[in-house]
Each structure stands twice: as structure tokens, then as C-alpha cells.
Amino acid sequence: MEETVSAVDVRLGARSYRVSIGSGLLASLGDFLKDTGLRGKCAVITDSTVGPIYGTVVCESLVRAGFLPVSLQVPAGEQSKSLSSAGELCERMIAAGLDRHAFVVALGGGVVGDLAGFVAAIYQRGVPYVQVPTTIVAQVDSAVGGKTGVNAAHGKNLIGAFHQPRLVLADVETLRTLPAREFNEGCAEIVKHAIIRDRALFDSLAKFDRLDSRALAGLIERNVAIKAAIVSADEHETTGERALLNFGHTVGHGIEAAAGYGRFLHGEAVSLGIVAASLLSMKKAGLSQTEHEAILARLRQFELPTRLASDVSTETILTALRADKKFDAGQVRFILTPRIGEAFVAKDVTLAEIRETVEA
Ligand code: NAD
Ligand code: GLY
């Protein structure tokens, strides 16, 4: 396999790290890790779909480079992003003799990345980890930025920690085995990045050819650069800049929780959330009807849902939304866009307005 690599740096002082992006990088993971200062034993945490496809190439690469990997699998799917899975993984790591000098490799999509990152954050009071993302969602979003965690019964990602990885290795060839539905859901996060930050990216998506590896790597790199810049400016989401990445997620998380984890893929729920945010942006931020329709067209291009099924109850969505981290002292921090390429945090969006939009 041809190996071409581009890099984006996430600049966070002593916690800075590099995201390497290219084709055919998995077999060189061990070599990439040599420069990180990591040594010895590691837990390769993956899921029951990704493990059988990529587990061997990753573990062989680690062994060739002198590491001692232990492979740990969880069932594929959002259900594994739970406190009980995290606890079980910690117990298995203790049983495998991994001490506080060990590290974690997260091999998989956003579920594995968030879960394994969280395990790394709490294991022996914190060990290093590296992200090897294998979905679009994970490569353009979840593997970068250090948000780790699991779901609670009351809502998404309510239990977690900030813990930055030491390195992220995004091999775009892994995206070739991603089923079409999972590929498309990831594009919701790309549309999100384009809407909040990059009009040219938004326009270029209309011509995107997923079979072109070079174009795919370029697209991932551009999205990682957007995410890295935002994370570098506001690591812990305190100034409002990182909150922009929640565009479409306020209602999206509510829909995921209300519909039951597993019915919608994360990106599908986010797509519906983007439609809600776009409708509210027309009402509250002056987004034009033409741009709203362009947003709908871009989501439909990736076969993403733009209408909510009538059996998902508005009340349940609003209940989940009240439990969300973005619901602050009775007010929702809602991200709006006045025009494609720009976004801001609005504090005057009411629950009544959200209810009206979801019902619409
Ligand atoms: P996922 O990890 O469940 O992956 C989707 C499916 O694709 C799974 O069945 C998985 O086994 C399979 N898969 C993964 N890679 C594959 C490959 N290369 N070939 C074949 N099959 C493959 O879901 P996801 O969409 O990647 O991530 C969603 C999760 O990410 C959600 O829990 C969401 O909350 C989280 N997330 C976190 C952040 C963050 O900043 N931490 C950002 C966005 C999303
Ligand atoms: N995915 C949102 C964030 O990383 O802040």
C-alpha cells in the first residue's frame, strides 16, 4: 500500500500532539509511536467489528516496534459506551498485568475512542493513550480534542473526562470497509464543520468523490485542521469557541437519547439536529431560506435524514435536552448560524422555540 502522510498539530503546550493522516498507515503504527516516549505494555481496545478486520495488523506493527499489546474487544455499537464496559475493561487490564506505565490504543470509531479514552483517563489515575480512528466521525471529530466519556441513562456523554491523546493516526484506507450508512453519518460532522467555519469547504462538498483516496485524505485533513484550531483555542470549552462544535448536537443528542441508543447513528441524529439549528437560525439569526435549503441539500446528498419520524416524542427529546451539558442554569446554549461559514453561541433560545422547531 502506498504511504503518504500529512500532519496537523493540535497545539496545547505540554499536551500538544500530532494528527497524522494518510493511506496505508496502520502497519506503521509502531514506528509512529516510537517518537512519543511510550514503551512496553499496552491495551489495544477495539470492537467486535473493527478488531477482526484491523486488530492483527495493528498488533503486529506494535510487536515489530517492541511493544507488548494485549487486545481487548467490546461489542460494536453505542451500547458499549457505558460505565459498566469501562469498568470491565479496567478489570481486564488489571488481570492482564498492565500497570501505571502501560498505555491504551483506541482502535475503532467514536464509540471505541470515547470509551478507551475514558478508560485511559481513569485507569491507575490516568495513563496515556493514542487514537487510531477508523470512521469518518472519529477521524474528523471524536479522535481529536480529548473529550472522552460514556453515556448515562439520562443522556449522552454525561460521565467523562478531558484527556488528550499522545498521537492520532488516521488511515483513510480503513474507511473503505465502512458500510455506506456509517460513511454517510460521518459526513454530518463534516457538514457541521463547513457550516460553522468554512464556506469554501461547504461548496466543495457538492463535488466530493469518496472513491478518490487523495481527495478523501485532503477532506479529512481540512476537517482535522478546523477541529484542531478550535480545540487549541478553547481546550476546555470555556470561551464559547469550542461550543461552536456543538452545532446540531443540542437537539441531536436529545433525539439519540429519546429514540433509544442504536436506532439512529450519531451522525443521523446530528443531521436532524442541524436541520433544527438551521430552522432556528432563520428565525433568530437571519439565515436566508436559500442557505437553509443548501444545508438540507448537502445533508440529503449524504443520504442523511432531514425529517424526524413522528414516533419520536418531542417531550422525551426535551427531557433529554434538559439533562444535557449544554443546558446551563435553565438556559440552553444553542449554536446558530447567520450565514454558512459562521456561527455563534446564542443564549436567548427558549425551550418553547426548540419545541416548536422539533414539532415543525
Ligand atoms: P461507532 O464507533 O459505533 O462506529 C460505527 C460502526 O462502524 C460500528 O459498528 C463500528 O464497529 C463500525 N466500524 C468502525 N470502523 C469501521 C471500519 N473501518 N470498517 C467497518 N466497520 C467499522 O460510531 P461513530 O459514528 O464512529 O462514533 C459515534 C460516537 O462518537 C458517539 O458515541 C458520539 O457521541 C461520539 N463522538 C464523540 C466526539 C468527541 O468529541 N469525543 C465527537 C463526535 C462523536
Ligand atoms: N465534538 C465536540 C467537541 O469536541 O467539542
45-54, 93-102, 323-332: range with lowest mean pLDDT: 323-332
Residues with a catalytic annotation lie at 125, 147, 189, 227, 237, 242, 246, 249, 253, 266
Give 309 or 334, the one with higher predicted confidence. 334
The DSSP secondary structure of 109-174, one letter per residue, reads: SHHHHHHHHHHHHHGGG---EEEEE-SHHIIIIITSS-EEEEEETTEEEEEEEE---SEEEEEGGG
What is the CA(186)–ligand 1 centre distance, in A?
A: 8
Q: What is each CA distance from 74 to 63, 112, 144, 159, 241, in whole angstroms? A: 22, 8, 22, 19, 34
pLDDT of residue 327: 67
pLDDT of residue 1: 43
Indicate if the pLDDT at residue 330 is higher than 70.
no
pLDDT of residue 326: 67
Nearest atom (ligand 2) to Cα of 142: 1
Pocket lined around ligand 2, Cβ cut-off 6 Å: 141, 145, 147, 242, 245
pLDDT of residue 294: 98
Radius of gyration of the chain (CA): 20
Looking at the CA of 172, which ligand is closest? Answer: 1
Q: What is the dihedral of CA 186, 165, 26, 72, to 10 degrees?
A: -90
Quote the CA–CA distance of 179 and 51 in Å, as a whole number: 16
What is the CA(63)–ligand 2 centre distance, in A?
A: 33
- Mean pLDDT value across residues 329-352: 89
pLDDT of residue 335: 96
Backbone angles phi, psi at 108, to 5 degrees: 160, -160
Nearest atom (ligand 1) to Cα of 145: 40
Q: 3: pLDDT confidence band, cut at 50, 70 and 90?
A: low
Task: Provide the sign of the torsion angle of the four alpha carbons 149, 158, 193, 10, taken in this order.
Answer: negative
Nearest atom (ligand 2) to Cα of 237: 5
pLDDT of residue 115: 98
Output the average pLDDT for the chain. 94
Pocket lined around ligand 1, Cβ cut-off 6 Å: 47, 49-50, 53, 76-78, 81, 108-112, 114, 134-135, 137-138, 141-142, 145, 147, 156-157, 174, 177-178, 182, 185, 265-267
